[in-house]
Structure 1
Amino acid sequence: MSIKAIIVDDERHSRETLEKLLDSFCKDISVIKSVDNIKDAIQAINLVKPDVIFLDIELQEGTGFDILTEIDSINFEVIFISAFEHYALKAIKYSSLDYLLKPIDSDELIIAVEKLKRKDNIVYKKQLEALLHNLQHHTKLSKICLATSGGIEFVAIDNIIYCKADGSYTTFYLKNKSTIIVSKHLKVYENLLVDHQFMRIHNRFLINLREVEGYMKSDGGYILMSNQDHLSISNNKKDTFLSVMNQLSF
């Protein structure tokens, strides 16, 4: 079964290269239209009704996200493309959506297309909605997408008290007293949340600094969180933690 695709990229060379890669390595993909601007992209989407769009994030007259916000009903999937590792891609990571970096590697393209075939459309739409929601709040991403054994959960960052590492798993401790376990290393979430007043205080703990109730010197030193949990802090993190807490304004 052929998968109908549209390519949106303002660089002719990039469009032609992607078409050749798809033709060579992804025989299920049929490129129906290839366009270089927002207006033509919206027209093509409404006309073709694609299954997937290969969407460049940075366009001369705006961004690929401008296209998505103009579409009334997103009944297709998106594989984002960019030459830049910056804010927009961080937003995509929050929403657990995949993207390809230029120059596109054929192996990465194959993996992305295979994931496309296996995606749950309902879950994917929720992920895309979360992404667009985050992008409307440029100064602060508000939700993070967590893939669990039972499905996908979207958690408000402000509701996270702390995260705890357990080997290759991470447990999220939330304000409603629930926990969520995901099969990703704590380092992944440290990178995502560092700009949101989260700090790694120990090889096992990443904490929301806004949920700290106190620092206790007894028992070698520990941090009291808002849920009354006592978390160990590494000796080499104590001075940095205290300095950061003194500088923060909540």
Structure 2
Amino acid sequence: MGLKAIIVDDESHSREVLSNILKNRFSDITIMASVDSVDDAVSAIAINNPDIVFLDIELQSGTGFDILIKINPIRFNIIFITAFKHYALKAIKFSSLDYLLKPIDVDELEIAIKKAKKEKSEELYKNKLETLIHNLKEQPKLQKLCLSTVDNFEFIDIENIIYCKANGSYTSFFLKNKTSVLVSKHLKEYENLLVNKSFMRVHNSYLINLNEVKKYVKSDGGYILMSNNDHINISKAKKDTFIHAMSYL
């Protein structure tokens, strides 16, 4: 079954490049419209009822997010596109949504399209978008994180994370409600997302919420006692940095 697509980008060259890639590499995708403004995008979406919208974040007439706010309900998948490291990219990552950087890499585009095709739950996608809009309103302090587990997606408040533990190629999240969530992504990826949100990598295996530290115990080589009474190992190389960070909370 074919997919209907709309391209939204204020650069004619970028629209043409993406259009050519889609026509040449993705025979099951039909481009219904290619527009350059917020109002034209809203109109094109209403008329064509697309399955996928390739949405540039920055437009001369506003932003891609202005379009999303004007459409309710959103019954299509979105692949965000931008030419630079936009401030919103971290918010998009927190929400488990997809984006592509220009110039577009065809392999990355293919991965994003495959993920969009698999997205079956309208309610789940709505939750992802709500998380994105919430985080954008809270910039620069992102508040919610979308975690993809084997069975579902969990939307959690960042402040409810006590610590994260590396588990091979997986990451375990330990939460204030005494539950844990296992995610099939490396700890490093979450370190990159959370490091400026009062989180610190204190060991190869641990990323901790500094606000949830009860105390640092010097005996037994030194360890950190968290608010749930779990003991967290700290590497020798991180001790001074950890003490320094705690003194500024």
**Fold shared, TM-score > 0.5 on shorter chain:** yes
Counterpart-to-counterpart distance in 1, 2:104 and 2:215: 48
Letter in 2 for 1:86: H
Q: 1:139-170: per-residue Cα shift (whole Å, max 9, x none)?
A: 21111111111111111100000001111111
Counterpart-to-counterpart distance in 2, 1:155 and 1:162: 13
Counterpart-to-counterpart distance in 2, 1:84 and 1:61: 18
Q: What RMSD over aligned residues (CA atoms) do the two structures have, in Å?
A: 1.1
Number of the residue aligned with 1:163: 164
Counterpart-to-counterpart distance in 2, 1:39 and 1:226: 50
Letter in 2 for 1:235: K
Counterpart-to-counterpart distance in 2, 1:81 and 1:121: 23
Counterpart-to-counterpart distance in 2, 1:243 and 1:101: 36
What is the TM-score normalised by the length of structure 2?
0.97
Letter in 2 for 1:193: L
Letter in 2 for 1:38: V
Counterpart-to-counterpart distance in 1, 2:190 and 2:26: 32
CA contact (8 A) 1:134 1:142 kept: yes
Counterpart-to-counterpart distance in 1, 2:86 and 2:43: 29
Number of the residue aligned with 2:146: 145
Q: Which runs of 4+ in 1 moved over 3 A?
A: none
Deviation for aligned residue 1:67: 0.7
Number of the residue aligned with 1:110: 110
Percent of paired sites with the same residue:
62
What is the TM-score normalised by the length of structure 1?
0.96
Q: 1:199-250: per-residue Cα shift (whole Å, max 9, x none)?
A: 00011110000001111111111111100111111111111111111112xx
Number of the residue aligned with 2:15: 15
Number of the residue aligned with 1:45: 45
Deviation for aligned residue 1:78: 0.5
Q: Aligned pair 1:28/2:28, yes or no?
A: yes
**Secondary structure of 1:220 counterpart:** coil
Deviation for aligned residue 1:181: 0.6
Counterpart-to-counterpart distance in 2, 1:125 and 1:113: 18
Note the 1:24-103 alignment, pairs <5 A: 24-103=24-103
Counterpart-to-counterpart distance in 2, 1:200 and 1:107: 31
Counterpart-to-counterpart distance in 1, 2:145 and 2:227: 21
Letter in 2 for 1:9: D
**Secondary structure of 1:145 counterpart:** strand
**Secondary structure of 2:195 counterpart:** helix
Number of the residue aligned with 1:172: 173
Counterpart-to-counterpart distance in 1, 2:214 and 2:205: 19
**Secondary structure of 1:195 counterpart:** coil
Q: Aligned pair 1:210/2:197, yes or no?
A: no
Deviation for aligned residue 1:27: 0.9
CA contact (8 A) 1:26 1:113 kept: no
Deviation for aligned residue 1:86: 3.3
Counterpart-to-counterpart distance in 1, 2:188 and 2:120: 27
Counterpart-to-counterpart distance in 2, 1:198 and 1:182: 18
Number of the residue aligned with 1:130: 131
Flag structure 2 segments of 5+ consecutive residues without an equivalent. Answer: none
Counterpart-to-counterpart distance in 2, 1:105 and 1:148: 27
